[in-house]
Amino acid sequence: MKGRETMWKDAIEMREAIASGEVSPKELVQETLEKIEQRNPSLNAVVHLQAERALEEAGSRSFEGLPFGGVPLLLKDLGQNQAGEPSSAGSKLLKGIPVNRTDNFVKRLEAAGFIIVGRTNTPEFGFKNMTEPQLWGTANNPYDLNRNAGGSSGGAASAVAGGIVPIAGASDGGGSIRIPASFTGLIGLKPSRGRIPVGPGSYRGWQGASVNFAMTKTVRDTRELLKWMQVEQKDSPFLTPLIKDWDALPNRPLRVGVIEKSPIESVVAPEAKEALRKAVAFLEGVGCVVEPIGWPVDGVEVMKNYYVMNSVETAAMFQGMEASFGRKFTKDDMELMTWGIYQSGERILAKDYSAALSKWDTYAHAMEKVHEQYDLIVTPSVSDVAPLHTQFPMEESVRYALEHMDELSVPEQQSVIWRMFDRTLALTPFTQLSNITGAPAISLPVHLTEKGLPIGVQLMAARGQEALLLTVAEWFEREGQFETRDFS
């Protein structure tokens, strides 16, 4: 067996070692638990352990022939329920309460042979692109513990980049896989809407904006996992045809559109531009036809419609939770930011929500027209490196407005939400559009700054074209274009 201080390359290497008899699933689970004990005090990536259950499964279950048979896995502590285990969603309301059924996504992971050993840190209900819930505290970035791992899959990113596990469950409702992937030097794929199992609790996941998948270290892990997880789920409101040809490329050079400019006109830092420059130079070098283009939609309008959705879906979520708890929630039950979003959702009219969602369809149409001309769109993943933990304190005027959110009009409420997120949105403006359109996108770790901090580029493709994204990602990986550190 490999030494405890040696990082495995990826989950497939673990699976191969199990199949060859080099190591047993139980040994791998024990090794993972030891790494959590050693590393989690500094990372704060893991917030729940199920050691006894994982060890029992590792010693009693047959993993023969399974694509990830015997590989330890961490789930995100949000929307990835496993019967008998708690899922806090970063909220004190749900802390320690076991769920009574397993989500279809998690069932599929179990069927792949993964052994679930615990759950990772996430902001309360996944609302922030930084992982710093009051319940569990900040998820620290392995590259610099004074910096955030991003969100909302920040704990997953910290655990994978920090060498605890080679792969971890994650989800992406506005960039929550790609943002932490960029901040921690990982591969972060957001699959197409309808690609990954949903339900049986929530089938629509922020009206299809939110998709479950994983944080990974290698493209082959990403590809193998997507091959296994893809479904045509008949009870889902969103269906995407299965990928059947995983190596298909057009019989011509790929056409690539490059966008450096922020869709909301915010500042893009030199390091993000340098990451983009490296990616563009590589793509040109392998024969792609590359040219600059502009955003085909109004980024500010996109985000305003996104926040309307977020508000209404939050109010609907709390309506169900209040029925389950048998009481009305108060401001003291949740973080102030969450309270503000909830109160805003309570006031938005159904006709206005319908109008906002209709806009999503126009954005999807606009992007599909762009993809008729360009196979790929390449942008920065984020506008800068991972932020310091102290970088974005809440402004007192915003705090006061949130305290009195129920007294404001709907336009005033939405203005407060914009102000609440404006600085973090300026850091992460590139990711939300693909959530709204349902198209796939991937962040690749192509650059380390002089201070050794990672920053990625985002590749976007037409809906259903994950195979193209992964093929191009393999070009980058095979030719040594990934710049990361190995945290043993």
Distance CA 215, CA 177 (A): 7
Q: What's the first-to-final CA gap in the chain, in angstroms?
A: 16
Q: Choose among 8, 5, 161, 11: nearest CA to 71.
A: 11
Name the active-site residue from 87, 158, 171, 176.
Answer: 176
Name the active-site residue from 91, 152, 236, 262.
Answer: 152
> Is 236 annotated as catalytic?
no
- Token pair belonging to 205: 């996941």
Distance CA 451, CA 386 (A): 12
* Residue 230 one-letter amino acid: Q
> Is 176 annotated as catalytic?
yes
> Is 358 annotated as catalytic?
no
**3-state SS assignment for residue 3:** coil
Distance CA 309, CA 311 (A): 5
Assign residue 62 a region: left if phi > 0, alpha if psi is -120 to 50, beta otherwise? Answer: beta
Name the active-site residue from 35, 76, 190, 359.
Answer: 76
3-state DSSP percent of the chain in helix, strand and coil, to 5: 40, 15, 45
Distance CA 231, CA 109 (A): 13
Distance of CA 230 to the CA centre of its chain: 17
Specify whether the CB–CB gap between 328 and 318 falls below 8 A: no
- Name the residues annotated as catalytic: 76, 152, 176
